[in-house]
Chains A and B, each alone.
Chain A
Amino acid sequence: MNAMTEAIAAPDILKEWTGKELSYASTFDHDLHHEVTQFLYREARLQDTHEYDAWESLWTDDGVYWVPANGTDTDPEREMSFIYDNRSRIALRIRQLKTGRRHSQTPPSQLARIIANVELLRSDGSEIAVACNSQIFETNQRGDTMWAARCVCKLRRVQGELKMAYKKVVLVNNNKAIYTISFLI
């Protein structure tokens, strides 16, 4: 790298939609990575197959489920998000889905998602933080839709089991006009 290229700082626009750089774990803990990846796969499967109670049971009592809009590092306490659920609103979301009269999920979306690029993040020790990408194929009465997202989850051990305390799903097109997304993303 010569002096010329070093002097040119990357413009802010490069980070406008990807947000602040995440802080990745500096060492690779193979067992933890495996355990976390298995957890993410299980979560994905429960979402794809609409096993609502089992999915809800993955959450801690103080879970936060966040799907921001218009960027990555927005402030959900000031700006609109697609989803910004505390634990009781997660429960409400599940209760609505289970009525069978959530019309946008009746019949339910047929889904298959791929979870990939699983990387552990630095964390303060009490929680396990992980980043991954998800790509979701949805088909419903409207037609076929592809969704893609960068996700960050924070997991906690509760009585020996991993639980999800935080899930952030950044749809890569979250500043655009998107179709209804009433399945669990």
Chain B
Amino acid sequence: METSRRTQWDDLIQPGMVHGSLYHDEMIFKDEVEKIWFKTWVYVGHESEVPNNNDFVTKSIGPMPVLMVRNRKGNIDLLLNRCPHRGNAVCVQEKGNRASFTCPYHSWTFANDGTLMNYAFPEGYNGADKSKLGLSKVPRVASYRGFVFASMATEGPTLAEHLGGAARTLDQACDNSPTGELDLCAGFLHHRARANWKFILENECDGYHPGFVHSSIFSVSDSAIGSLYGADAVAITRGFGNGHTEVDPRPEFRRRDQPMSWFGTTADKLPDYTAQMNAAYGEKRARQIMIDGMPHVMIFPNLFIAEIQIFVIQPVSATESIQHVTAIQFKDSPEINRRLRQQTMGSVGPAGFLLADDTEMYERNQRGLEIRNPEYLYLKRGEHRERRDEDGYLTGHSTDDLPSREIWKHYRSLMEPC
């Protein structure tokens, strides 16, 4: 069996070709849950979603819900919402503020760091060790610039090792905020797709599709996105390793040399924000940040920062996924925040000008796999023009399949070991 397994991966993932079953086989999905979602670092939420002590919000790790809690001491804990007694949910609210959680079934009560405080009629337990009956906690939780990641594995690479060079993109995002902090306070839209999660992942840094999938909105609005992904574009794609990929449009924006061009506007239309940025970073550095703009990065396996939005990709089954999406807000910058929200609401979610059509493509991809031939998907675009940049990362043209190839390379490294 083990030798055939080896052959299986050689067969499923070939250079520039991946087998269709990777997107619909339920056994492969079960394997992914164990080897990816419950093992590697995954993005869970942002510290600004639980600003006060005792705040909690329901998030997920793969198909499993978790409670992200700022406990009584102000630390972030990730609790599993399952009473150790009989498995009932100890919290059925999506979010709120609570110092403790009481299971409604038999009244076991837990502190918001998971500790079992009390159970009803304790004499019946004859001195059982309460410290072993707390809520389960996700073993490893780590933050980077407010982004909370978790790993269900007790051991493994550190978050810094996992992020590697992709940490630059999170820094870049935070630098666009005058306070250096993001604020994810606008609430999430939850957009369901009847498609495998990897179709979503691969689309996020696919610069080949926008001119076609989004031609309807580009043709009737003055969107600046279209010009980034033409055949003449100087934007590039990059793989950071560990499955993290980005579209880096900075070469294009630096060529334009116009602050806020990345946002389709000019600095004088955002006087408060510009003043805040100049005060925070000095005019020279502020100008550079406002030319470079926000990142467009897919942090494997589930955090997509699309300039002004954050998407969290959740797998539900081999053929069902959810995109959770919200507008990025810069802490204490109301002037630009309104525009960030308005633009986001127009673009994303089930009714969005962009995402309704992206999601239509994911679902059509999924249905396409019901057709037997060809068995493989073809991901060779730009193989011949991959280059290493000065940091040693692979780069390609903004319309190349390089991000997909990078994702599959990492995917195989996680899935193949027995």
Contact = CB atoms under 8 A, between A and B. Distances in A.
Given A92-B221, A104-B356, A182-B351, A70 B187 contact: yes
Given A96-B216, A99-B219, A179-B192, A80 B350 contact: no
A179 B356 CA distance: 9
Interface stretch (A42-50, A159-167, A170-178): A170-178
B98 interface: no
Contacts of B363: 141-142
Q: Which of B349, B350, B363, B367 has the most CB of A within 10 A?
A: B350
The 5 closest A-B CB pairs, nearest first, are: A177-B190, A101-B216, A95-B220, A104-B360, A182-B356
A178 B356 CA distance: 11
Interface centre among A70, A93, A102, A177 (most CB of B within 10 A): A177
A80 B327 contact: yes
A99 B187 contact: no
A81 B363 CA distance: 23
Given A79-B186, A102-B216, A103-B357, A180 B326 contact: no
Interface string A87-125: 001001101100111111000000000000000000000
Interface residues of A, number: 36
A24 interface: no
B220 A99 contact: yes
B216 A80 contact: no
B358 to A, nearest CB: 9
The residue among B220, B327, B342, B367 with the most chain A CB atoms within 10 A of its own CB is: B220
B356 A180 contact: yes
Contact of B345 (A80, A103, A176): A80
A148 interface: no
B411 interface: no
Contacts of A85: 346
Interface in B214-236: 215-217, 219-221
Contact of B217 (A96, A143, A180): A96
B191 A180 contact: yes
8 contacts: A84-B342, A92-B217, A101-B219, A178-B192, A179-B193, A179-B194, A179-B350, A180-B360
